[in-house]
Chains A and B, each alone.
Chain A
Amino acid sequence: MDLVEFLVKTVTIVAVFGLTLVIAMYSTWAERKVAGFIQDRSGPNRAGWGGLLQPLADAGKMFFKEDFIPALANKWLFIAGPSLAMLTALLASAVIPFGSTFRIAGHEVPLQGVESNIGILYVFGVVALGVYGIMVGGWASNNKFSLLGAIRAASQNISYEVAMGLSLIAILMMSSSLSLGEIVAQQHGMNWNIFYQPLGFIIFITCSFAECNRVPFDLPECETELVGGYHTEYGSMKLGFYLFAEYINMFISSAIISVLYFGGYNYPGMDFVYAQLVKALGSETGHNIATLIGTAVFFGKALFFVFFYMWVRWTIPRFRYDQLMNLGWKKLIPLAIFNIIITGAAVLFLKPVITAWLN
């Protein structure tokens, strides 16, 4: 790998990290704003215009709190917990294709941290690691409530990962590629997977709610039963990291949903816009501006799903634990398998028929 390529990759990855962090930061503000609006209040509006400085104020508060470690806690694991949660949350953002390519002096630079041909597998692996942050933190706290919360988180994530993976298989059967960039490219021209996989989409989004530990599946931090769940003993910025990791996960999974089901950076009339821009501004500037529009569309989609997460959070009450498990194992997994069979049948029999009929 030569130096230029290395530098370009570094810049891309730092930019992706920075963007993810800023979006997660403002998600906390947006969450409170959305909560307020849904409850007929106006939300935070004192710190800065419309409360826009609120995340900074919160972070300042978090930093100035006492960084407390309980006497009987396992000190290193107690610190490792939030660090792991944050690390794994950030790692997944590397493979997301935020846009097509930038053309700089004849070089094509993909707007993606790592162009990996097993992108979606990587995301799954990292997301599965995410539960370690919670598990390690909950166990190291040496507190029954924390441990119970951690166990809940672990069992919930494992249960829902199965259904999530199965619902994804249907997508993979259609795209016959694990690369996220490839999956997005195949959805070009309103060929969005949501039109072919509505059931898979519902299963996937339900599971991603569970994976992110968001309402209605936020049982690991169920305050009515478990005080604070796995972060009962945490304070200061370590608690901040846990909460922050949740928002990063939320953004990542929204991005994944828009990549897998809503065509990523594709939008209707994309080719027309591209042709016009290239004609007007040349193949370099025009191409780059078209890419930027695509990226903006991608962020629009991803942020809509972040909003959807919040919208659902302030609508639906929490599930009971047995309901959660019943839904995961007895409803979602059979449904996902059914979806795979239907997709397989459609790909095998329906697709040739339709292709023949169209030609």
Chain B
Amino acid sequence: MQLTNRSKQVSNKEMTLAERAYLPAIATGLAITIKHFFAKKVTIQYPEVKRYLGPVFRGRHILKRDADGRERCTACGLCAVACPAEAISMVAAERVKGEENLYREEKYAAVYEVNMLRCIFCGLCEEACPKQAVYLRHDEFVPVFTERDQVIWGKDLLVEDMNNRYTREAWTKEEARALDVKRASGEITNVVPRAIP
């Protein structure tokens, strides 16, 4: 069975004089490295240039709202139970009259906190959520924090902004490829990596 075209028969024959002289081989090697010296560099200058990480990348969390702008989370606690790192905690509260435009269900999370130091970004909370409320964004990271009180993210940072909604445009490889083509042709898509507030 042949797997690649690069396979080479191993031989134990005596080396020729040119091979034993070692210098031609060194010259070949030097030619290869100097070719790489002038080749285009693959480095992406990270903080200035950010690369699209694909539709299934698991970045920072977001608490989704529904189409009418109501929070989807009902504080059932399944995400906290599913979380292997025990990073999520929440306090539930009952929706009172007049708050129907704020919360989708009769119960909501008054406090919803994710400890970003504990979180391992496994995405089990996403999978556990029965209300499609919590997601890990594919386009934003948790930024570097320098203070301890920046570690625990509350609802102020987590809940979706209706003016800048989070959508995931491509779910399969094919869709992602189509999206890449669209992006390459200069069409604007929603997924532009941004700095985080």
Q: Is B one of A's binding partners? A: yes
Chain A residues near B (Cβ < 8 Å): 34, 36-42, 45, 202, 311-312, 314-316
Partner of B42, one of A34, A38, A40, A311: A40
Most A CB within 10 A of own CB, among B23, B33, B34, B41: B33
Whether B36 and A202, one on each chain, are in contact in the complex, defined by CB atoms closer than 8 angstroms, is no
Q: A41-B43, A311-B33, A316-B26 are in contact. List 13 more A-B contacts (CB 8 A).
A: A36-B41, A37-B37, A38-B33, A38-B36, A39-B36, A40-B36, A40-B40, A40-B42, A311-B30, A311-B34, A315-B26, A315-B29, A316-B29
> Does B144 lie at the interface of the complex (its beta carbon under 8 Å from any beta carbon of A)?
no
Return chain A residues, CB-CB under 8 Å to B96. Answer: none
Q: How far is the CA of A315 from the CA of B40 in the complex (A)?
A: 18
- CB-CB < 8 A to A36: which residues of B? 41
A17 CB → nearest B CB, Å:
31
Q: In whole angstroms, how far apart are the Cα atoms of A34 and B38 in the complex?
A: 10
Tell me if B196 is interfacial: C-beta within 8 Å of chain A.
Answer: no
CA distance A42 to B36 in the complex (A): 11
- Is B39 part of the contact surface with A, judged by Cβ < 8 Å? yes
Min CB distance A39 to B, Å, is: 7
Q: Which 6 A-B pairs have the closest CB atoms?
A: A315-B33, A315-B29, A37-B37, A38-B33, A42-B41, A42-B43
Q: Collect the chain B residues with CB atoms within 8 Å of residue A40's CB.
A: 36, 39-43
Binding site secondary structure of chain B? helix
Shortest Cβ distance from B43 into A: residue: A42
Chain A residues lying within 8 Å of B37, measured Cβ to Cβ, are 34, 37-38, 311
Report B23-56 residues with CB < 8 Å from chain A CB: 23, 26, 29-30, 32-34, 36-43, 45
When distances are taken between beta carbons in the complex, the residues of chain B under 8 Å from A37 are: 36-38, 41
| B39 / chain A contacts, CB cutoff of 8 Å | 40
Closest A-chain residue to B22, C-beta based?
A: A327
A311 and B40 alpha carbons, distance in the complex (Å): 17
Within 8 A of A (CB), among B84-103: none
Q: From residue B187, how far is it (CB to closest CB) to chain A in Å?
A: 30
A42 to B42, CA, bound (A): 8
A353 to B42, CA, bound (A): 58
Query: Which residues of the partner chain B approach A202 to less than 8 Å between Cβ atoms?
Result: 23
Q: How far is the CB of B144 from chain A (nearest CB, A)?
A: 16
Output the nearest chain A residue to B38 by Cβ-Cβ distance: A37
| Cα distance A202–B23 in the bound complex, in angstroms | 10
CA distance A92 to B33 in the complex (A): 31
Q: What is the CA–CA distance of A349 and B127 in the complex, to the nearest angstrom? A: 90
Query: Contacts of B40 on A, CB cut-off 8 Å?
Result: 40
- Interchain residue pairs with CB less than 8 A apart (25): A37-B38, A38-B33, A38-B34, A38-B36, A39-B36, A40-B40, A40-B42, A40-B43, A41-B41, A41-B43, A42-B43, A42-B45, A45-B45, A311-B30, A311-B33, A311-B34, A311-B37, A312-B26, A312-B30, A315-B26, A315-B29, A315-B32, A315-B33, A316-B26, A316-B29
- Interface mask (B115-142 → A, CB under 8 Å = 1, otherwise 0): 0000000000000000000000000000
A200 to B23, CA, bound (A): 14
A348 to B30, alpha carbons, bound, how many Å?
37
Nearest CB of chain A from residue B120's CB, rounded to whole Å: 29
A312–B33 alpha-carbon span in the complex (Å): 9
A343 to B38, CA, bound (A): 39
A315 close to B41 (CB less than 8 A): no
Could you say which residues of chain B place their CB within 8 Å of the CB of A316?
Answer: 26, 29
With the chains together, A90 CA to B48 CA distance in Å? 42
Q: Would you call A315 and B30 a contact (CB within 8 A)?
A: yes
Give Cα distance in the complex from A34 to B40, angstroms. Answer: 14
A37 to B37, CA, bound (A): 5
Alpha-carbon distance between A39 and B39 when the two chains are bound, in angstroms: 9
Give the residues in chain A near B38, CB-CB below 8 Å. 37
Determine the distance from Cα of A323 to Cα of B32 in the docked complex, in whole angstroms: 24
* Among candidates B23, B33, B43, residue contacting A314 with C-beta atoms closer than 8 Å: B33
Please indicate the chain A residues that have their CB under 8 angstroms from the CB of B33 in the complex: 38, 311, 314-315
| CA A296 to CA B10, docked complex, whole Å | 50
Measured between beta carbons, the chain B residues less than 8 angstroms from A45 are: 45
A316 to B29, CA, bound (A): 7
- Inter-chain contacts of A38 with B (CB < 8 A): 33-34, 36-37
A85 to B55, CA, bound (A): 56
Query: Which residue of chain B has the shortest Cβ distance to A317 in the bound complex?
Result: B29
Interfacial chain B residues near A34, Cβ < 8 Å: 37
CB distance from B24 to the nearest CB of A (A): 12
Chain A residues with Cβ below 8 Å from B34 are 38, 311
Contacts of B26 in A (CB 8 A): 312, 315-316
Question: In angstroms, how far is the closest chain B Cβ from the Cβ of A357?
Answer: 32
